[in-house]
Amino acid sequence: CPELRWSHAGLELADSYCFDPHKWLLTGFDCDAFWVADRGELIEALTVLPEYLRNAATETGAVIDYRDWQIPLGRRFRALKLWFVLRWYGVEGLRAHIRSGVALAGRFADRVAADDRFELTAPHPFSLVCFRLRAGDEASADLLRRVNDTGRVHLTHTRIEGRYTLRLAVGSPRTTEQHVDEAWNLLTAAAEDLLAA
């Protein structure tokens, strides 16, 4: 999305870049998008070229031997699943999906920011919102357990500056405002019970 490209400012100066498309690009695990500025250096570091693999096409550079881009000699066709997503959604479909996730995360973050019991713990320019109860680590951990035990949503946690932090990630193309609102309602109801105890 053009409006999110600021996050990659300076990428043209990188020697290599990779990302896992399993979230926003709707592709299952074990697929990595990998770019290198100079493939020669990568190949030089990883290549193993016994006599039985030598051939004219390789020697002249007519083919790219991807076996030299990694440690294993063979590789699964991991890119096929990403290719199907790109073909199905197209650029505009993926942009719409990403924009929807960003908007839904923003909706959720606005609710967190408006409730004095909670605090945002990190910026949320994309589809991940990190937040916690102001009551501290134990209360936040208990809140996560209570909400996840409902089976209605699944949030995860991390630590930011040593503090226990809850994470809400919007990734599914089927996520709607109703789902985000339900997550918020579960959180606020559980927080009310927890803080009243």
3-state secondary structure of 184: helix
For helices 177-196 and 79-114, the axis angle rounded to 10 degrees is 50
- Note the Cα 173 to chain centre separation in Å: 14
Q: Does an H or E element contain 34, and which?
A: strand 33-36
Catalytic residue check, 17: no
Token pair, residue 19, equals 């990302």
- Helix H segments across 16-117? 39-46, 56-60, 79-114
Candidate list 52, 66, 89, 164, residue with the active-site label: 52
- Which residue in this structure is represented by tokens 């290719």? 83
Give catalytic residue positions. 52
